[in-house]
Amino acid sequence: MQDYSIITKEISKAYRKGEGGFPFKRKSQKTIVALDNVNLSIGRGELFGLLGPNGAGKTTLIKILSTLIIPDAGTALVNGYDVLKEPGKVRASIGVVSSGERSLYWKLTARENLEYFARLYKVPDEVAKRRIRELLSLIGLEDRADDLVEKYSSGMRQKLSLVRAILHDPEILLLDEPTLGLDPGFSKSIRSFIREELNKKQGKTILLTTHYMEEADQMCDRVAFINKGRIVAVDTPERLKTMIGKKEVLKVVVEELGDSVLNVVKTLPFLEDYRVTGMEQSSRKTVRMYMKNVDAHIQEIVESFSKAGCRIISLSVEKPTLEDVFINLTGEALGDEY
Amino acid sequence: MWLSYELKVVTTVVKKELVLYFRYPVWVLFDALMPLLWVLSLVIYGMALVGSSYSNNLARLTNTGDYISFTVVGMIVSSFAYSTLWGMSYALRGEQWSGTLESTFLTPCSRFSILLGKALSSMLTTSVWVIVQITLVTLLLGLRINFINLPLALLFFLISLPSFIGIGFSLAGIVLDFKEHSAFVNFLSSLLGLLLPISYPLNILPPFLRYFSYALPPTYAIEGMRSLLVMGCSLSELIGLIIPLVFFDFFWLIAGVTIYLVEERKVLKNGTLGYY
């Protein structure tokens, strides 16, 4: 029987948003389903990705697993402890990083922050001092240890948040969009630290939420797609990509994509499916066209766009990505733009 | 083991709060000056009405006519009560604003240790400014208090502290849920300013208001410490104040913990813990 670090059992959560509030009676209430009957099992030592668009329910699930939100139905076992019955033991077993920059005290230095949280996490002072020194050195912040956090860049603060999360050497890490808003250099070093150091070397179980498909593809042993609170598919990135069949993807970036163009595209007999993405306000759109044997049809596609009066900016043949699988399963894109 | 860990959390929170406090020097300066200004304005106002620091009318209503000592002791005790109450009610709200509440709540320690640490740090800074206040008022206005009774006054304050902490727990929970800390503090400060015998004796209040005053633990703390420091009473003479205070200690500790836990559960169910 496989050893699981995290098991969720039919977790559901809805938020009720209404106008007015205490002491006034609420006029109307709108229910937003954040999680709908979520069942997941994450093995010990696994790096598991939860991939979905903004508002899919990723953060809610992380917060339920970290005891910061109580679910409406269902429960979860984290390191064998029930999040509803043994929240203290759950918190001692996990380290959590969220995408926000403000989870540290900006008017304290990095060292003061870490010493403070180490004591709250019950780490003996001598052990804490050694671990803080080692971890700051590992992420390249040892020279800035005594600077106030307010003087740090966003990337440095995110690295420091990671160190805070692993100070007490937890078995499980819950990382909620850990690279959101960071520049590519910092994102790469944080991804590498998570994958190589924390997962492969230290053997920690990691649940990572992201809406960056490359991040999930490169880092995760298994990925779950989540959309509108429901788990749509769970498997390894490689197997998920085979779900799309032998189709290839032709990515066409165009200007002024009108209905007349789409009507022409739809009639192409070899086209199995297509999706249009792009910012609503922008005239530039991306059409991802799914078909077999792209090379044989490129000429015809270019002519169809031209005849419909649509200017092609770029055209490329790509292998199916996790995003393509997600689009095929849900009909929705992970983000506004590729 | 559990207790030593939680005590360590309390001292760690106190240390962190003090470091953060002194990283805002303008705030520290204003904190030092403001209570003194409040005392001075009240004392000068009273002296203007009475004509000197001695009031025959006050002597008739209480056992002392020394208006300055009467008011300064009232201010000192209420400062401690306020610092405990506001310190705890702002404790979690402040963390919500700074974005650190969730990272604090992710640690396995008790929330009550965090709240106690916040209250203690607030009381420590208040103690420093109270000492400065007493020294300056003694030098400037000739404050006359019974320093021999100071240990007994401290003991009396310790008897009243659990009730303040209990009320603080409940305020922390309510503010965690309803978020509007400033609205609560502004309203309660004005209400307590009216109901507590800070600068006037209780028997000058209309009878129906006195019932509300006697429902508030700080009323007994102010009356008791004033009796010890200004009127030179002994502890045994204050039994009528100690018994209700002990009752309030038990009542408010149980009520405070219960209210806090109910409110925290509500916030965790609503998913609004980190909201500001």
Query: Domain spans of chain A?
Result: 4-20+30-236, 246-319
Q: Return the CATH fold of A4-20+30-236.
A: Rossmann fold (3.40.50)
Decide if B276 is inside a domain. Answer: no
Contact residues, chain A, for B27 at CB < 8 Å:
none
Burial zone of A1 (CB within 10 Å; 0-12 exposed, 13-18 middle, 19+ buried): exposed
Among A34, A92, A112, the residue with its CB nearest the CB of B19 is: A112
Decide if B156 is inside a domain. Answer: yes
Cβ of B20 and A98 within 8 Å? Answer: no
Cβ of B108 and A68 within 8 Å? Answer: no
* Phi, psi values for residue B109, rounded to 5°: -75, 165
Token output for A281: 């306000």
The residue segments making up the domain with residue B222 are 2-270
Minimal-distance CA residue of chain B relative to A148? B23
Cis previous bond, A23, omega within 30? yes
Predicted pLDDT of residue B264: 96
Decide if B29 is inside a domain. Answer: yes
Decide if B275 is inside a domain. Answer: no
Which of B154, B142, B155 has the alpha carbon at shortest distance from B76?
Answer: B154
Cβ of B12 and A13 within 8 Å? Answer: no
Spatial separation of the C-alpha atoms in residues A91 and B80, rounded to whole Å: 34
Minimal-distance CA residue of chain B relative to A97? B103
pTM for the predicted model, two decimal places: 0.87
Decide if B43 is inside a domain. Answer: yes
pLDDT in tens, chain B (276 residues): 889 999 999 999 999 999 999 999 998 998 888 888 888 888 888 888 888 888 889 999 988 888 889 999 999 899 888 888 888 888 888 898 889 999 999 999 999 999 999 999 999 998 888 888 888 888 888 888 888 999 999 999 999 999 999 999 999 999 999 888 788 888 998 999 999 999 899 999 999 999 999 999 999 999 999 999 999 899 899 999 999 999 999 999 999 999 999 999 999 999 988 777
Shortest distance between the Cα of B113 and any Cα of chain A, in A, equals: 10
CA atoms within 13 A on the CB side of B25: 0
Minimal-distance CA residue of chain A relative to B2? A122
- The single residue listed with the structure tokens 């165009």 is A254
Q: Contact, A64 vs A71, CB < 8 A?
A: yes
Spatial separation of the C-alpha atoms in residues B114 and A119, rounded to whole Å: 12
Spatial separation of the C-alpha atoms in residues A338 and A289, rounded to whole Å: 14
Minimal-distance CA residue of chain B relative to A125? B8
Cβ of A68 and B178 within 8 Å? Answer: no
Among A15, A103, A121, the residue with its CB nearest the CB of B108 is: A121
Predicted pLDDT of residue A336: 47
Token output for A38: 């979520």
| β-pairing verdict for A222-227 and A47-51 | parallel
Superfamily of chain region A246-319 = ACT domain (3.30.70.260)
Spatial separation of the C-alpha atoms in residues B25 and B37, rounded to whole Å: 19
Beta bridge partners of A41: A7
Does the CA dihedral A84-A86-A88-A90 come out positive or negative? Answer: negative
Considering only CA atoms, give the Rg of chain B: 19
How many domains is chain B partitioned into structurally? Answer: 1
Between the alpha carbon of residue A6 and those of residues A45, A78, A80, the distances in Å are: 11, 5, 8
Which of A321, A307, A144 has the alpha carbon at shortest distance from A238?
Answer: A321
Listed in sequence order, the DSSP H helices in B23-110 are 25-50, 56-61, 67-98, 101-105
List pLDDT tens digits, range A46-55: 999 999 988 8
Which of B275, B246, B245, B35 has the alpha carbon at shortest distance from B175?
Answer: B275
Cβ of A94 and B106 within 8 Å? Answer: yes
* SS3 assignment, position A15: strand
Burial zone of B110 (CB within 10 Å; 0-12 exposed, 13-18 middle, 19+ buried): middle
pLDDT in tens, chain A (338 residues): 569 999 999 999 999 876 555 555 555 678 899 999 999 999 999 999 999 988 899 999 999 999 999 999 999 999 999 999 999 999 999 999 987 668 899 999 999 999 999 999 999 999 999 999 999 998 899 999 999 999 999 989 999 999 999 999 999 999 999 888 788 888 898 999 999 999 999 999 999 998 888 889 999 999 999 999 999 999 999 999 888 877 788 998 888 777 777 887 888 888 888 888 776 667 788 888 888 888 888 888 888 888 888 888 999 998 888 988 888 888 777 764 43
Decide if B63 is inside a domain. Answer: yes
